[in-house]
Chains A and B, each alone.
Chain A
Amino acid sequence: MALHIVNRSPYRSSALRDCLNTMAEGDALLLIEDGVYAASASAQAGAMPAGTYCLGADADARGVSVSDAIARIDDARWVALCVEHTPVVSWF
């Protein structure tokens, strides 16, 4: 199963949309940098799939309150997600 990493705001870029259109059942999604705006509890970007994670440091930096449905993770867990999944696919 793949890990997809999205670092762009869903309101500015097609990165998240392209990623969601490509994701297979069971793939994981990690939102980092401006990608975390899609993880906000008040996001209008639509529901994220099961298995969505968000870098806590990037959310905190932006004052984004992460939706309960999305797992906040740290850098160590980020590395672990990469170990657990293959391939790792970046969308920017």
Chain B
Amino acid sequence: MSTHTLALCRQAPYGSALAREGLEAVLAAAAMDQAPDVLFLGDGVFQLTADQAPQEIGQKSLYRNLQALPMFGVERIYVCRQSLADRGISTESIAVPGIEVELVTDPGALLARYQHVLSF
């Protein structure tokens, strides 16, 4: 998908399969050296919270998929600052090892840089 594509992730984990399948699409593209940039916005920021333990609901941890991103060359993610604030999530609590989190205050300006935006 490469850097002319932005993956826009807006789904909370576990409640929607598209959260997982969106990350899988990003990882698959990255494995082919076509990693898109990734923006977490809206409920998508819930994907970034630590302490996810979905074993009892029969799901695999989505956070683990996130941790795999640096292995495939995705070393920076964009996160909407306002979406975090709206949900009472502190910026310190969304660290993913090996990934630089770039907080975005103007997501519209970010979107404008890309030819394609794939919504997940």
Chain A interface (Cβ within 8 Å of chain B)? 1-2, 14, 18, 21-24, 27, 86-92
5 closest cross-chain pairs (CB), A and B: A24-B108, A87-B117, A89-B117, A22-B107, A18-B42
Whether A87 lies near B119 (C-beta < 8 A) is no
For the residues of B in contact with A, the DSSP-based class is: mixed
Whether B108 lies near A87 (C-beta < 8 A) is no
Chain B interface (Cβ within 8 Å of chain A)? 6, 8, 10, 41-43, 82-83, 106-109, 111-112, 114-117, 119
Q: Pick the residue among B41, B112, B116, B119 that contacts A24 (CB under 8 A).
A: B112
Whether A87 lies near B42 (C-beta < 8 A) is no
A-B contact count (CB 8 A): 41
User: In the complex, what's the smallest C-beta–C-beta distance from A5 to chain B, in angstroms?
Assistant: 9
A21 to B111, CA, bound (A): 12
Whether A89 lies near B115 (C-beta < 8 A) is no
Q: Pick the residue among A14, A27, A86, A90 that contacts B108 (CB under 8 A).
A: A27
Whether B41 lies near A87 (C-beta < 8 A) is no
User: In the complex, what's the smallest C-beta–C-beta distance from B79 to chain A, in angstroms?
Assistant: 13
Whether A87 lies near B82 (C-beta < 8 A) is no
Give chain A residues whose Cβ lies under 8 Å from the Cβ of B115: 86-87
Give chain B residues whose Cβ lies under 8 Å from the Cβ of A92: 119
Contacts A/B (CB < 8 Å), 16 sampled: A1-B112, A18-B10, A18-B42, A21-B82, A22-B41, A24-B109, A24-B111, A27-B108, A87-B114, A87-B116, A88-B117, A89-B8, A89-B117, A90-B119, A91-B119, A92-B119
Give chain A residues whose Cβ lies under 8 Å from the Cβ of B107: 21-22
